[in-house]
Copies of this chain bind each other. A is one copy, B any other.
């Protein structure tokens, strides 16, 4: 399939937008009129620039408020259309988008609409141009695709067809089954956009909150499957109005956009629409869990040892130490600050997994850094793939551990990463698509320094869980340094015992304020004894419909990393997000008090 993007999806002036689309590998663009109007290039120069970038101009848009109007307005509209045909001829664009009217001049008369669109099509035909008529969800009289199709059919002109836009169809909750009765040849253009399910004015929703496929709540693969079933063979074109993308680096946005189309095609193919197969996107088995997490740290020994980790070995060729406890393995490289540098993912097909991630537009990791295949995720974290039976730990010369303690850590429960404001959605989609994870429900919570959105994903067996957190709005100068931490959460079968053992070893655990426990007592009918134990060990508590969650934190190590130890009881499925503000305030307080 041809993959297109509307220039309105990208920030900048037209030259920025076209360059970004070309570099991300798109085949064509929709030129948004305002982008052309403000451009210093003539339409002919734009055509040349697109050709140089390997982009065709597949749509000129939008032409508004055309049909079902009184004769004088109609005459003016035809005049306006002829001027736009002039522009299109110079652009070499052969399809013009006509949106259903929102004009107060329009009347509710399908026959008149069909008749006037027929006249427009006749004039377009003379110029070698096709007209794609689209029902806006907020069109004054025509606001469903079924209605736009009735008008197009009634007009009965060969160069008049439909433009279908997933947002306009799915935001109205329209049945997509009706798409299948439209001949594929009469669908002239297909625009794709996802969106979060919001209860708000549909025009505002559309203009500000559209998302690339896979970032929102719409079932786009079902929609695309329905369109493909008609025999539609035109471009899949992204048309996403989004306040953030409008002001973000277009090169990054375009890569994100392309990845979202690849993932959408694969998902549509998986649901049975063979045409949507992406030939060179390997399908790989689910991951088997974390092989390790790699940190940089200036002085790894202290904290890990105080948490009961054992120094297991020194890497044979790299300055990396392996520490472990239970099935939790931490590789530590020297670095000036503490940072999560890479994830080791166990999988039966490491090469396939790396190829898949690379096809999803993640750059390959250098062979210098890792012996095994891996990529750099969009947030800069390395993802390295290992075969579980492959004893990668043989790369390490066993150390003679000075201290051998254990504090009951059994493995890695999840890692939590942060993402820049602009990249949150794309990073979440990348991890899901590259590792075969499923999205878990998104949450948003008020933290001391602003709203935080949290989106986690996990494989079906919950062996890989990745939580992503981001400030819901980009922050200014005020937010303190603890605002964007990363963390690793370890599992324990008895967090109270783990906390006790770690405190005895001098681990830098985070103290939780007494008010928190007074509030727990008000909310839950705890025994005095149970509350006393939690309070004494600064263990936090949550519950969901499945079970209970006990967890505690370390203080901040370096500028942005901390550890957590968690105990899931009876299938608790969350991440204790309700307690995150308590943790954030406590980290801040510690820093204020201890510098």
A interface residues, Cβ below 8 angstroms from B: 11-13, 33-34, 36-43, 76, 79-80, 83-84, 86-87, 198-201, 204, 208, 243-244, 246-250, 420-422, 446, 448-451, 471-479, 513-516, 518-519, 521-523, 525, 581-582, 584-586, 588-589
Contacts and interface: CB of A to CB of B under 8 A. Distances in A.
A448 B518 contact: no
B13 A451 contact: no
A249 B422 CA distance: 22
A515 B249 contact: no
A523 B199 CA distance: 35
A475 B247 contact: yes
20 contacts: A11-B448, A13-B588, A34-B446, A34-B581, A37-B516, A37-B519, A38-B448, A38-B513, A41-B515, A79-B525, A83-B522, A87-B515, A198-B200, A243-B451, A246-B450, A246-B451, A247-B475, A247-B478, A248-B476, A250-B478
A574 B475 CA distance: 32
Contact of A450 (B11, B446, B513, B581): B11
A514 B476 contact: no
A516 B475 CA distance: 36
A515 B478 contact: no
Nearest to A519: B37
Contact of A586 (B40, B472, B477, B478): B40
A476 B38 contact: no
Contacts of A40: 513, 585-586, 589
**What are the 9 closest A-B residue pairs judged by CB atoms, nearest first?**
A247-B450, A200-B200, A83-B522, A38-B585, A199-B201, A249-B478, A474-B474, A40-B513, A37-B519
A471 B246 CA distance: 11
A247 B451 contact: yes
Contacts of A12: 448-449, 478
A244 B582 CA distance: 21
Nearest to A42: B514
Nearest to A33: B519
Contacts of A518: 83, 86-87
A409 to B, nearest CB: 27
Among A11, A243, A246, residue most surrounded by chain B Cβ atoms (within 10 Å): A246
B247 A479 contact: yes
A246 B449 CA distance: 6
Among A83, A243, A247, A449, residue most surrounded by chain B Cβ atoms (within 10 Å): A247
A473 B473 contact: yes
Given A11-B449, A200-B200, A521-B83, A472 B243 contact: yes
Nearest to A581: B38
A580 B473 CA distance: 25
Contacts of A79: 522, 525
Contacts of A250: 478
A552 B582 CA distance: 55
Among A40, A249, A525, A582, residue most surrounded by chain B Cβ atoms (within 10 Å): A40
Contacts of A243: 450-451, 472-473
A422 B476 contact: yes
Nearest to A515: B37
Contacts of A581: 34, 38
A43 to B, nearest CB: 7
Given A37-B582, A38-B582, A200-B200, A13 B589 contact: yes
A42 B518 CA distance: 10
A583 to B, nearest CB: 9
A446 B13 CA distance: 12
B200 A477 contact: no
B34 A478 contact: no
Given A42-B515, A208-B451, A249-B477, 5 more contacts: A38-B586, A43-B515, A76-B525, A249-B476, A421-B476
Given A37-B515, A249-B478, A244 B11 contact: no
B246 A446 contact: yes
A473 B474 contact: yes
A198 B201 CA distance: 8
Contact of A199 (B84, B200, B513): B200
A523 B87 CA distance: 14
Given A42-B515, A80-B522, A476 B420 contact: yes
Contacts of A246: 446, 449-451
A455 to B, nearest CB: 17
Contact of A515 (B36, B451, B477): B36
Given A247-B471, A473-B247, A478 B11 contact: yes
A381 B80 CA distance: 45
A171 to B, nearest CB: 14
B585 A39 contact: yes
A63 to B, nearest CB: 10
A51 to B, nearest CB: 19
Contacts of A448: 11-13, 38
A104 to B, nearest CB: 13
Contacts of A515: 36-39, 41-43, 87
A514 B46 CA distance: 13
A446 to B, nearest CB: 6
Nearest to A207: B446
